[in-house]
Structure formats: C-alpha cells, structure tokens
Amino acid sequence: MTGTCKYSNIDAINRPIILECVELLKDKLRGTWVMRRSHSYDRTYDALRQRSTDEEIKSYKKVPDRLIQANSGLIFFKDAKVVIFYSNDLFNTPRHRICLDSDDDTIGLKLS
C-alpha cells in the first residue's frame, strides 16, 4: 500500500520526526525528497517512555529497533508544499532514521 497521509492521522511514535523532515525540505528545490523509516506503536514501550527521564526517549527520538516496521517508510516530497507519502511496499527497510535522496542506500529502497 502506498498513499498520501495527513499529519493529524500519523500516530505519536512517528509524528515527532515529521517536523524535522519538513524543516529539512523547507528551503529545498521542488522535486527533492527524504525518507524516514516508520515504527509500530507498542503500548508497553509507551508506558516505559512516559516513566523515562531521558528526553530523547520521552520525545520518541530514540525508538528501539524492535519497533521498526519492515519494508515501510514515510516519504516526504517537496512540491509546492511538502507532501507526505506512506508505503509498506519498499524493496528494503531504511537503515537510517532519516534517509536523504542523494544516499545510495535510499535510492535502492525504491518501491518493489
């Protein structure tokens, strides 16, 4: 499945990185894009996160690898505005938290 998504429909575990990706694309040329790997929501991790004193864990900047969704990612494409796509049909799972369009790894993640 691949399609566009609204910011308000993205769950809490994936939402914090969106602002960072949109900020990366703000001053870029039309046609530029970045990809972000997506994570699954886990109730037990959420309870642990709420009790944590680490700001990166509290803000979902550190997420355990076990929550990474296989072959899934959010793609941010700069058009007149930044458009967000979600796909669970990538050729591979993104290795990095945010992948730039110029990375060789990212180019190999195209839709299967």
Beta bridge partners of 68: 39
Written as tens digits, the pLDDT of the chain (112 aa) is 678 888 788 888 888 888 888 888 988 999 999 988 888 888 888 888 889 898 888 887 788 889 989 988 889 999 999 999 988 888 888 878 888 877 766 655 555 4
pLDDT value, residue 112: 45
pLDDT value, residue 83: 92
Under a CB-based contact definition with an 8 Å cutoff, are residues 34 and 101 in contact? yes
pLDDT value, residue 2: 76
Query: Got the DSSP string for the chain?
Result: -EEE--GGGS-TTTHHHHHHHHHHHTTSPTT-EEEEEEE---HHHHHHHHH---HHHHTTSS--GGGEEEEEEEEEEESSSEEEEEES-BSS--SSSEEETT-HHHHTT-B-
What's the rounded Cα separation, in Å, for the pair 33 and 43? 31
